[in-house]
Structure 1
Amino acid sequence: MRILGAAAAVALAAAPLAATVAFAQTPMDDPLDARDAKRVDRMEKVVRELRDIVFKAQKTGQPVVVQPADTDARMAEQATRIADLEQTLTKLNGSLESATHELDQARRDNGALKAELKALSDRLTADEQKATDAATAATAASGPQPPPEPPPQGADPKAAAADAFAKARQLMLSGDYDTAESAFSAYVTTYPETPRTPEARYWLGKTLAVRGDYVKAAGAFIGAIRGWPQATWAPDAVVELSRSLVAVKKPADACETLTELGRRYPKAPASVKTRAAAIRAQAKCS
């Protein structure tokens, strides 16, 4: 009986242990789901990063700077981009305002230039009228002059005009300025509308300037460059006009004329530009 009792006691004592072993061998579900596992991984990652930052700070002595992660970092990046775009937009607005201001200034300058050109044209017209009046007065004082000889009856007007111009030009080339002056003056009077009339006025001004009659010379040069012709002699005519204006004590008009030389004839010969610079200095142009 005692032996049976002891065996029963041993069996009862072993029963809980067997149950425990059996329970331990039974598989159990993971108490962490996938989402919690990801959270744990992120937390571990953060802890590792913080540990690295702290160790780095201890080694270098530099202050700890924690960078924003994930969403915060993206938001910060977007904020930086927005700030850059705002700065670019501000620069574009500034450039647009500057361009608008420059356009307005160019319009004002254009209006001022038109006004200056009109004023110069008015002065040239007035000078031409004065020169014409002076020539008329001189002619009246010297007595009646014979009218220019008309072209022969039945002659071709173009051929007659060309012949008259050639003869006047030859007289000037030969140094007979008095006769050349009369010939060019007759040409201008007889043929006022031919293509070579402006050039005839130019050579007439040359003969008058040689004789020192700068008032009449200025009138002839003004008539020659009216309309600013694109001819080889035109830049020289402008310089000669300015020289005549200086001679008749009109330096301001001479300076404006020389300013137009650069605008109207930028490709004038170097010799013309050199003479223009000398006259500009003589007139004390600014």
Structure 2
Amino acid sequence: MRRVRLRVLGLAAGAVLLSAPPFAGLAFAQTPMDDPLDARDAKRMDRMEKVVRELRDIVFHAQKTGAPVVVQPADTDARIAEQASKITDLEQTLTKLNGTLEAATHELDQAQRDNSALKNQLKALSDRLSADEQKMAEAAAAAPPPAPPPPPEASPQPADNKAAAADAFAKARQLMLSGDYDAAEGAFSSYVTTYPDTTKTPEARYWWGKTLMVRGDNIKAAGAFIGAIRGWPQTAWAPDAVVELSRALVGVKKPADACETLAELKRRYPKAPAAVTTRAAAVRAQAKCA
């Protein structure tokens, strides 16, 4: 209703402008009003003046060109209609995006379920394979005893024999320090065979076991370490030999024996270096000791 009144007022004002001199409308628009207007009345007056100017331009244009007067729809209504159309398009786009997102979410949930089922199948297969490997290892090798018996008394060695033994041990140790583990393994093995009863024989067995562990021969390495710690010698390398024996036992699928050996480490060598106890804890976790 308000728009109709404004348009009527606009048409009336336009008629007045047509009958008056060309500058009469301009004089009217520029004449200040005595009464103050609030913000709403000022906006209404602005719209009325705009309509009057538009009507005047249309009539003047028609007078000059002789073309029929065509009243275009209000610019505000056209913009509102345009924005409404854009909003409708946006709503349709959002609806499509929501549908696509729901489909992708469903596919992701399905993929996660499939992945979980596949993990369970792989775990079951891995458990079966581990059980089969353990049975094969138990059938292939006997379990070494965790607690070695006391060492035999070393027989006296001639002076020249002692010198040859010392020289052979030094050469084998140098080969290992240089990184030639294959040659060091042969040298320590030869030393143990040639000099089975010297004071250096237990240590030679220890280093021999180290070279065997590098090659992955856990069964022979376990035997070498057992010979090295027989009698639980109080030497600097003995605690590490116990840890290495435990590692070899884990390698041949004997975790229970490894746990027993690690228990003896704490009892036999309570002052073992921190580096050795740290490695022992790692082996204990690997063997799943209680």
The bucket for the TM-score relative to the shorter chain is 0.3 to 0.5
TM-score (norm 2): 0.46
Larger RCO (CA under 8 A, 6+ residues apart)? 2
TM-score (norm 1): 0.47
